[in-house]
Structure 1
Amino acid sequence: MVNSRFLGLLSLLTLFVSAEARPQSHAVWAADSAIARKQGNGLDSSQRASVSYEHGELQWGLRLLYEATGNRTYYDYLLAGANNIVYDNGTIHGNYAYVSKTADYSLDPVRTGPTFLYLYQKTGQTKWKSAADTFKVQLDAHPRTGQGQFWHKKQYYNQGWLDGIYMGDVFYAQYVKDFQPSNSTAWADITQQFNLMYQNSLQASSDVHNTGLLYHGYDYSHTAVWAASDRGHSPEIWNRALGWYMMALVDVLEVIPTSNAGYATLRGILQNLAPKLRDAADPSTGVWWLVMTQPGREGNYFESSGAAMFVYSLLKGIRRGFITDTNGSIRAAAEKAYQYMTAHWVVENSDGTMGWTNTVQVGSLSGNGTFEYYVGVPTVLNDLKGLAAFLLASVEYEKL
C-alpha cells in the first residue's frame, strides 16, 4: 500500500512543477507556447515555406519580447522563421511565388517585411535588405484606386480594406525611415493610405447602430454587392479589421517623424477613434462584439483577436503619448478588457503551455459582408492571429 503521506507530498510536488511550468508573465507564456507548437516559424502544416502575415505578426511580438527581456530564444526563433522563407541571396520563396506582385498583388505577405528590416538592422546581412526591396518594388507597382489607395488584392478590384493598412503600411513606413527618411512624397503617401481608409470607411452619425468607428472596407468603384451608395463602404464593423487598423496607427506613429505633417494627421485619427472604441466595449464584460454594429444580436459573440488588438493599441497609444487620456478612462477600459481576456480566453494545458480561445478564423469582403457571414465563420483554438495579438497586448499590459 502506498503511504498516504507520500501521495500528499507527490500531489504538492505536482502542483509545484505545474506552477513552475507556467510563467508569471502572460507575454512569455504566450510566446513560449507558440514556439512549443512551432507556430509562426515560416512553414505551413506540411513544412513548406509560407510567407504569412500571421507569422509576421507573431515575429513582431517576439521582437518586442526579446527587447523587453533580453531572452535570445525569441530572437533566434524569429530569425529561423525568416530564414525559412528567404534564401541566402535574398529571394523570398515558398508560396510568395503565387501571391506576389506578378500574380495577385496581395498586401498580406508584406506583413513579414518588418522582420526583414529588423534583421537587416541587427545583422547587416544584405539578404534581408534584398528581401525587403522585393516588397518595396511590389508596393511601387501595386494597383491603386483613383484616389491613390492600395487595393487589398488584385482580385478585389478597387477595394481598400482596413486589414491592408496593417499588412502593407507598417512595412512601408519602416522602409522609408530606414532608407529614405527625407522622402516627403513617400511619407505623404503613407499618410494618405491611412486617411483614405478613414474617410471612406468612417461610420456616419446617421447610420444604424452608430459607433463612430470604421467599416471593414470600401469599394471605390461601388461595384461590389456590399458597397454602400455614399462612399462604397461595407455594411458592418468587424472587430478584427478595426484591430488591424488601430495597431497600424500606433506602430507607424512610432516611425513617422514627429515634424512631418503626417504625424499630426495619424495622431488625430487615433485620438478620435480611441474614446469611441472605449465606449463601444460591452459595459459588463469590457470587451467587444465580433460584429460591433450589432451588439447583443443573437449569434454575435465576444471575439478574442480583435479585443487583444484593441488593448495593445490603446495601451501603447497611451504609453507613447499618442492618446490623451486625461481622466484615465481609456486605460481603465483597456485594463478591464485585458483582465476579461486572461480570465476567459486563456487556457492552461496539461503540458504547461497556454491555449487561446475564441478567435474567429477569417473575415473577408469576398462575399456579401453581412452579419450572417461574419458570425457564421468558426472560431479556432490557438489561432495565431489571436495568440500573437494577445502576446502584443500582454507586452503592453506588463509595461504598466
Structure 2
Amino acid sequence: MLLTYFDSYAAAHSPYKGGAWCYEDGLIYQGLVALFEATSDQRFLDHAQRMACAQVDENGVLKGYTLTDFNIDNIQPGRAMLDLFRLTNDPRYMRAADTLIAQLKDHPRTKSGNYWHKKRYPWQVWLDGLNMGLTFQIQYGLTVENDALVEDALTQLARAIDVTRVAENGLYAHAYDEARTQSWADPITGQNAAHWARAIGWMSMALIDACEMVGLDRARAAGILGPTQDLMQRLIALQTSGNLWLQVIDSPDLSGNYEETSASAMFALSLMAAQRLGIMPSATSCADAGRVGETAFHELVERMIDPNRAKYGIGFGQMVWVAGLGGYNGRNRDGSAQYYTMEDIVEDDAKGVGPLMRATAEFLSHKQVLPSLGCRYQPLATKAYG
C-alpha cells in the first residue's frame, strides 16, 4: 500500500511553486529515483523524468530560476539531476547540474568561507543549506572528478558543525549569524535559541549522505564522521515513547509541542543508513541505530496507512508546513521554542513525502524481509509495500 501511495502522490503532484524550479519538487525527484533504484519499478523513474522535464528544457535551462538570487535551496534538485543523468544519459540533466554549480562558484560566503543561506539572508549559515547545497557539490565533484569541489564542501560541513553546535546539549541550532545582527541571534554565539527537528533532519541527511559518498575514512579525516556518530546517538536518546521525534526535539514539556513526521522520516532514513554503512563506532551501536530507525519507520507507516486514502496519494500528516527565521509576511520568526510550535501543520507536504520515499527505499534496499522487532509490529514487506 505504501508504494501505491507514492505512485498516486506522484501521479497527482502539481509543481510546488507553480512550476518554478524549487527544492520541494527536488525532494520528490530524489525520492522517486531512490524508490526506482530500490524496487526496479519503472513507474517511479517515469514519474521523476516526467516531472523534471517540465522544469528543465533540452538545453538545461531551469524554469523560473534566477542564478543571481543566490538561494542555496535552489541547488537541492541538482542531486536528482545527477542521478537522472547517470540513469538515462540525457544531457539536459547534466546541463542543469552545470547551471547549479555555476551558482555555487559565485555564491556569496561568510568571512570564514561558508555559503550564505540566501542573498537576502547575508552572513547566515542554516542547517537546511547543508543538505540543499553541500551534498550536491560533493556529488557533482565526484561525478566530474573535481576533488577541489569535494574538499571545499567537506570543509564547509565541518565548519558548519562547529558554528551551529550547542555545547551544553550536543544538539545544533537551526541557524548561525556570523554578523550577530539578526534579532534571533544570540549576541555571543550567533545562534538561534531552539532546536527545530526538521533543521536537524536536514543536517542528519547531509552528514549521512556525505559519509556515504566520500567513504568513512575520508569523512573521519574531514572531521565529520565523529559528529555524525554523536548526532545519531543523540537522536536515539531523543526518540519519544511514541517512536517519533518532537517538533522542538529536546522539549517534551513545551506547550503545543508535538510528534512531527517530516523530521521523523529524515531521522528514520538517517539511522537506518547509519546501520547499513557501518557509521556507528561499534556493532552494537550500529544495531541500535538500525533498530530505532526501523521502529520509527514502522510508526510512520502505521499512522498513515489507510487504504481508502493512500490509494489517492493522501494521508501522511502531522508535519509542519514551513519554519524560518527573521521577518516574513509581517511576522518576526524569532527562532524560539514557542515559535516553532506556532507554524501551520499540514499533510502530504513534499518536505515530508520526499524523505519518506527515501526512508522506504533505504528500508527496502537492505531488508529483504522485516524481522520481528519484539513489539506490536508485524512483518510489513507484503502487507504494506505492495
Structure-2-length-normalised TM-score: 0.87
Task: Please identify, of 51-60 and 151-160, the stretch whose mean Cα deviation from structure 2 is larger.
Answer: 51-60
Partner Cα distance (2:303, 2:340) in 1:
21
Question: Match for 1:365 among 318, 325, 342?
Answer: 325
Tell me how many residue pairs correspond in the alignment.
357
Partner Cα distance (2:221, 2:275) in 1:
16
**TM-fit CA distance, 1:247:** 0.7
Calculate the aligned-residue CA RMSD, in Å: 1.9
**TM-fit CA distance, 1:139:** 0.3
Q: Deviation above 4 Å: which 4+ runs of structure 1? A: 261-264
**TM-fit CA distance, 1:331:** 2.2
The 1:299/1:120 distance shift into structure 2, 3 A limit, reads: same
Q: Is 1:36 matched up with 2:11?
A: yes
Question: Match for 2:149 among 186, 192, 205?
Answer: 186
**TM-fit CA distance, 1:371:** 2.0
**Structure 1 SS opposite 2:283:** coil
Give the alignment of 1:338-349 within 5 angstroms.
338-349=297-308
* Residue aligning to 2:265: 308
* Residue aligning to 2:131: 166
Amino acid aligned to 1:34: Y
Question: Match for 2:349 among 354, 371, 383?
Answer: 383
Question: Match for 1:266 among 215, 221, 224?
Answer: 224
The 1:394/1:128 distance shift into structure 2, 3 A limit, reads: closer
**Structure 1 SS opposite 2:315:** strand
Amino acid aligned to 2:205: M
The 1:276/1:148 distance shift into structure 2, 3 A limit, reads: same
**Structure 2 SS opposite 1:355:** coil
Structure 2: state its 5+ residue gaps: 327-332, 368-386
**Structure 2 SS opposite 1:160:** strand
Partner Cα distance (1:114, 1:136) in 2:
11
Give the alignment of 1:99-178 within 5 angstroms.
100-102=66-68, 104-178=69-143
The 1:264/1:156 distance shift into structure 2, 3 A limit, reads: closer
**Structure 2 SS opposite 1:32:** helix
**TM-fit CA distance, 1:342:** 2.0
**TM-fit CA distance, 1:58:** 1.5
**Structure 1 SS opposite 2:67:** coil
Task: Please identify, of 67-76 and 236-245, the stretch whose mean Cα deviation from structure 2 is larger.
Answer: 67-76
**Structure 2 SS opposite 1:50:** coil
Q: Is 1:396 matched up with 2:379?
A: no
Structure 1: state its 5+ residue gaps: 1-22
Amino acid aligned to 2:62: I
Partner Cα distance (1:350, 1:144) in 2:
45
Question: Match for 1:229 among 160, 182, 187?
Answer: 187
* Residue aligning to 1:85: 55
Q: Is 1:199 matched up with 2:162?
A: yes
Amino acid aligned to 1:81: M
**Structure 2 SS opposite 1:229:** coil
* Residue aligning to 1:280: 238
CA contact (8 A) 2:107 2:116 kept: yes
Structure number with greater Rg is 1
Q: Is 1:57 matched up with 2:20?
A: no
Partner Cα distance (1:161, 1:118) in 2:
25
Q: Is 1:324 matched up with 2:289?
A: no
CA contact (8 A) 2:75 2:100 kept: yes
**Structure 1 SS opposite 2:111:** coil
Structure-1-length-normalised TM-score: 0.84
Amino acid aligned to 1:82: A
Q: Determine which structure has greater relative contact order: mean sequence separation of CA pairs < 8 Å that are 6+ residues apart, divided by chain length.
A: 2
CA contact (8 A) 1:105 1:154 kept: yes
The 1:71/1:335 distance shift into structure 2, 3 A limit, reads: closer
